Structure 1
């Protein structure tokens, strides 16, 4: 606690010098959302709430609703910034209350201890009931010889199992992989309204289950509102480029189609490419297809005919069958 002995700036906190904050009354409590800090300042606030935090005054009211599983909630007060004023306390207090929504003082019961400090501090509640509204009261302290209630700026943040949005409340679903030109249906659970971004490749941007067929890998964000709070989740639609092995090439040295180019395989540097002749003898092997096959085996040109290829795209191990088929050498 800091108490300044001199009289400097005393006039700065005369009653009526500052506008009353809009949330200085229970009926106009400001909404708190999980992991979304907001700034507050109790300068100009009014009212008291006896019985919860002794030697405090100038209240600010906040409210929140627990998630669908409930549990403890942590209220953190940070960034406390009090003016240097003669006789003014420099500590803030916080307490979490349960109530019936009537805003009558007798209707509230504390679900956390009253916590007070002049620096970063927090109050932790008991396990709270799911889907239930609670109130947070932040007030200025006046104790230890202070003659003026603390009037300070601060930040307030909520977190904890009872407040953080969980998958049963809102989930955009797992990331998905689709081939080039393919489509998949996205599905978000929870929330009440939806807004998808970007909208390209979607069959709709305000529905919970749009069809997505993007031209390239895209991270889609979906925004919803839960208990008045805005939340965002992301799902990635990963485009897997297909390869297209040709069934013939002409390694005759004319500079046209002299090697077996496989469109799309450059996207898979760890691919394994094997080629066999009609008797099952391996004539070509490559880990990573950096140099296209030129129709030779150990530097010697192979005869015209049909060969068998096997390609495994190892980046998709466990998720994609290998490619196989026949390739003809024409000279």
Structure 2
């Protein structure tokens, strides 16, 4: 069952007193900033045993989060809770949200959301958050039910909700595009403050909004930006299309010269579909890929009509049509 307790005394200690290896955010001054909707892994093992702000707690980790311009309600979620089974140690974590002036000074904090916790994944509602305000969040181990030691566990912490979620972020890597082999296109990401592209292969630069992309093969590029300390990503698919060039005639006379229909650029596209029809609409040749070229076997001298679908990797199929003449 979840436990709830109310802070009745001022926060006792803001800086851990023990001199030993501890997580960087084991004190207020080094609180780790959380971004809306982006889980952060934590583990309070090895943090100070000093009492936390909630009764019966210790081994606290410090976080901050900042509300958006509207403020309102939010939620703290503790997931992936992993507490080792150790004799005398509890298996429950507690969360408390505090308001303060940013000085990490004793007595400057007040409770926003009462101490709540559980031994399984849980959420803590945080209501009436002020707009554009930084709050402190503590995740601490609990010692309940006769346990001698506060829990030391691995977990993920996430903050979200209408008062915390980043609003009006319209970050876009741009539309997917197809280019011919050897061609190029200018990418155009928008809505970010900084831009980092990956992979870097085929790009004129990877730290600008609009690099020129000239990949040798179809590539999905990811662009990342940081807005208000939070990371956002988007992707754009640059499909490299090997342009085909079907010959308009061939002479299947067995002399070893021009005996089959040549379609340059098609061998590299095994998913392409090729169909050839006579003047009555009867299909006389069909293949997926073009490993065995059309040789006109058994067909008279005439003009035939073809239909080629590349079945493009972007999910689009741009058909090519035309005619080819068999000359004997």
Partner of 2:311: 315
Partner of 2:185: 184
CA offsets 1:264-320 (integer angstroms, 9 cap, x no match): 3352645252344xxx44465444355433235xx24325xxx25332416259956
Taking structure 1 as reference, are residues 194 and 47 closer, same or farther at Cα in structure 2, changes over 3 Å only?
farther
Taking structure 1 as reference, are residues 74 and 175 closer, same or farther at Cα in structure 2, changes over 3 Å only?
farther
Q: How far, CA to CA, are the matches of 1:142 and 1:275 in structure 2?
A: 81
Q: How far, CA to CA, are the matches of 2:285 and 2:167 in structure 1?
A: 47
Partner of 1:153: 153
Partner of 2:300: 301
Q: How far, CA to CA, are the matches of 1:115 and 1:271 in structure 2?
A: 62
* SS of equivalent residue, structure 1 residue 237: strand
CA offsets 1:119-175 (integer angstroms, 9 cap, x no match): 4434344486776533211123344445x4515132233154556779935443443
| Gapped regions of structure 2 (runs ≥ 5) | 2-16
Partner of 1:41: 45
Taking structure 1 as reference, are residues 256 and 138 closer, same or farther at Cα in structure 2, changes over 3 Å only?
same
Q: How far, CA to CA, are the matches of 1:114 and 1:36 in structure 2?
A: 20
Q: How far, CA to CA, are the matches of 2:315 and 2:149 in structure 1?
A: 66
* SS of equivalent residue, structure 1 residue 239: strand
TM-score scaled by length of structure 1 = 0.73
Taking structure 1 as reference, are residues 83 and 283 closer, same or farther at Cα in structure 2, changes over 3 Å only?
closer
Taking structure 1 as reference, are residues 300 and 310 closer, same or farther at Cα in structure 2, changes over 3 Å only?
closer
| Gapped regions of structure 1 (runs ≥ 5) | 2-14
* SS of equivalent residue, structure 2 residue 224: strand
| Aligned-pair Cα RMSD in Å | 3.8
TM-score scaled by length of structure 2 = 0.73
Stretch deviating more after TM superposition (210-219 or 40-49): 40-49
Alignment of 1:87-236 (within 5 A): 89-103=90-104, 105-110=107-112, 112-126=113-127, 132-146=133-147, 148=148, 150=150, 152-158=152-158, 160=160, 168=169, 170-236=171-237
* SS of equivalent residue, structure 1 residue 27: helix
Q: How far, CA to CA, are the matches of 2:324 and 2:130 in structure 1?
A: 67
CA offsets 1:29-83 (integer angstroms, 9 cap, x no match): 123341332333363254643xxx3433453211134578976334215112374
Aligned residue pairs, count: 303
Partner of 1:252: 253
- Are the equivalent residues in 2 in contact too, given 1:175–1:236 (CA < 8 A)? yes
Q: How far, CA to CA, are the matches of 2:207 and 2:170 in structure 1?
A: 18
